[in-house]
Structure 1
Amino acid sequence: MTADSLLQGSATAMSDAVRSGRSTATALTQASLARIEATDGRVNAFTDVTTRRALDAAAALDRRLAAGDVDAHGLPLLGVPFAVKNLFDVAGLTTLAGSKIERGQPPATADGPLVARLEAAGAVLVGALNMDEYAYGFTTENSHEGPCHNPHDLTRIAGGSSGGSAAAIAAGQVPLTLGSDTNGSIRVPSSLCGTFGLKPTYGRLPRNGSYPFVASLDHLGPFARDVHDLALTYDALQGFDARDPGCVQRAFEPTAGSLALGADGLRIAVLGGYFHDHADDMARAAVARAAQALGVMRTVELPKVAHARAAAFVISNSEGGTLHLPDLRTRPQDFEPLSRDRFMAGALLPAAWVHNAQRVRRWFALRAAELFEDVDVLIAPATPCVAPPIGTEWIELNGQRLPARPSLGLLTQPISCIGLPVCAVPVWGVHATLPIGLQLIAAPWREDCVLRVAHQLQQLGVASSPVAAL
Structure 2
Amino acid sequence: MQSVRDRLEIILSRLANRAADEKVYVKLYAQAALAAADAADARQRAGVCLGPLDGVVVSIKDLFDVAGEPTRAGSAMLAGAQPAAQDAAIVRRLRQAGAVILGKTNMTEFAFTAIGDNLHYGTPGNAADASLIPGGSSSGAGVAVGEGSSQISIGSDTGGSVRIPASLNGVVGFKPTARRVPLDGAFPLSATLDSIGPLARSVADCAVADAIMAGEEPVPLQPIPLAGLRIGVPRGRLFDDTQADVAAAFEACTSQMERAGARVADLSIDDLIGGMRAATMRASIASMEGAEVHADWLATGASVPVDPHVSGPLSRALTVPASAYIRTIRRRAELVAAMTERLQAVDALALPTVPMVAPSIAAMAGDEALRDRTEGLLLRNTQVANQFDLCAISLPMPGTKLPAGLMLVARHGHDRRLLGIAAAVEALLSG
By the TM > 0.5 criterion, same fold?
yes
Aligned to 1:12: none
CA deviation after TM superposition for structure 1 residue 122, in Å: 1.7
Counterpart Cα distance in 1 of 2:365 and 2:241:
15
Task: Within 5 Å, give how 1:264-343 maps onto structure 2.
Answer: 264-295=227-258, 296-302=263-269, 303-309=271-277, 311=279, 313-332=283-302, 333-343=304-314
Structure 1 residues 364 and 279: alpha-carbon distance in aligned structure 2, compared to 1, 3 A threshold: farther
- How far has the Cα of 1:204 moved from its partner? 0.5
Q: CA deviation at 1:100?
A: 0.9
Give yes or no for contact 1:306–1:414 (8 Å, CA) kept in 2.
no
> Is 1:444 the equivalent of 2:423?
no
Contact in 2 for aligned 1:255/1:451 (Cα 8 Å): no
Residues 108-137 of structure 1 deviation map (CA, whole Å, 9 limit, x = unaligned): 232211112122222100000000100001
Partner of 2:57: 81
> Relative to 1, partners in 2 of residues 1:330 and 1:391: Cα closer, same or farther, differing over 3 Å?
farther
Q: Which amino acid aligns with 2:26?
A: T
**Is residue 2:322 matched to residue 1:351?**
yes
The CA distance in 1 between the partners of 2:17 and 2:226, in whole Å, is: 40
Structure 1 gap segments, 5+ residues each: 1-21, 240-251, 464-470
Q: Which residue matches 2:220?
A: 256
Which residue in 2 is equivalent to 1:204?
180
Counterpart of 1:210 in 2: which secondary structure? coil
Deviates more, 1:104-113 or 1:48-57: 104-113
Report the more deviating stretch, 57-66 or 196-205. 57-66
- The whole-number CA distance in structure 1 between the counterparts of 2:191 and 2:133 is 27
- Which residue type is aligned with residue 208 of structure 1? D
Secondary structure at 2:26 match in 1: strand
Which residue pairs with 1:3 in the alignment? none
Q: CA deviation at 1:281?
A: 2.4
Q: Shift of residue 183 of structure 1?
A: 0.8
- Say which is worse superposed, 77-86 or 309-318, in terms of deviation: 309-318
Q: Per the alignment, do residues 393 and 415 of structure 1 end up closer, same or farther by CA in structure 2, a change over 3 Å counting?
A: same
| AA at the equivalent of 2:222 | S
Q: CA deviation digits over 1:208-265, x for unaligned, max 9? A: 11100011110001110011111111122222xxxxxxxxxxxx48563322x34245
Question: Aligned residue for 2:427?
Answer: 459
Pairing partner for 1:57 from 30, 36, 44 = 36
Cα distance in 2 for partners of 1:395, 1:301 equals 37
Once the 2 structures are TM-superposed, how far is the Cα of residue 334 of structure 1 from its aligned partner? Answer: 2.6
The 1-side partners of 2:52 and 2:228 are apart by 28
Aligned position for 1:141: 117
Could you tell me which amino acid in structure 1 is paired with residue 242 of structure 2? A
Q: Letter of the aligned partner of 1:348 in structure 2?
A: T
The answer (yes or no) to whether the contact 2:397–2:403 under 8 Å persists in 1 is yes
Report the aligned-residue RMSD.
Answer: 2.4
SS in 1 for 2:406: strand
Give yes or no for contact 1:207–1:220 (8 Å, CA) kept in 2.
yes
Could you tell me how far 1:271 is from its partner in structure 2? Answer: 1.8
TM-score (norm. length: structure 2): 0.91
For residue 127 of structure 1, what is the aligned residue in structure 2?
103
Residues 113 and 309 in structure 2, CA contact (< 8 A), matched pair in contact too: no
Counterpart amino acid of residue 409 in structure 2:
I
- Residues 427 and 462, structure 1, Cα contact 8 Å, conserved in 2: no
Matches within 5 A, 1:37-186: 37-38=16-17, 44-66=23-45, 68=46, 71-72=48-49, 74-186=50-162
Identity between Structure 1 and Structure 2 (%): 32
Report deviation, 1:141.
0.7
Q: How far is the alpha carbon of 1:381 from its aligned partner?
A: 1.4
**CA 1:411–1:83 in structure 2 vs 1: closer, same or farther (change >3 Å)?**
same
* Corresponding position: 1:193 with 2:137: no
Partner of 1:467: none
SS in 1 for 2:350: strand
**Alignment partner of 2:363: what SS?**
coil
Q: Which residue of 2 aligns with 1:390?
A: 361
Deviation at 1:330, TM superposition (A): 3.0
Taking a change above 3 Å as real, the CA distance of residues 372 and 318 of structure 1, as seen in their structure-2 partners, is same
Structure 2 unaligned spans of 5+: none
Assess if the C-alpha contact under 8 Å between 2:56 and 2:98 holds in 1. yes
Q: 1:380 to 1:267 in 2, by over 3 A?
A: same
Distance 1:77 1:33 in 2: 19
Which letter does structure 1 place at the counterpart of 2:395?
V
CA contact (8 A) 1:293 1:462 kept: no
Cα distance in 2 for partners of 1:167, 1:86 equals 14
Asked if 2 retains the 8 angstrom alpha-carbon contact of 1:43 and 1:167, the reply is no
Whether the aligned pair in 2 keeps the contact of 1:44 and 1:147 (CA below 8 Å) is yes
Distance in 1 (alpha carbons) for counterparts of 2:366 and 2:265: 30
**3-state DSSP of counterpart to 1:149:** coil
State how far apart, in whole Å, the 2-side matches of 1:297 and 1:359 are: 33
1:178 to 1:168, Cα distance in 2 relative to 1, 3 A = same
- Structure 1 counterpart of 2:169, one-letter code: C
Partner Cα distance (1:429, 1:460) in 2: 14
Q: Secondary structure at the match of 2:79?
A: helix
Partner SS for 2:326: helix
Give, in whole Å, the separation in 1 of the partners of 2:203 and 2:353: 17
Query: SS at the partner of 1:150?
Result: coil
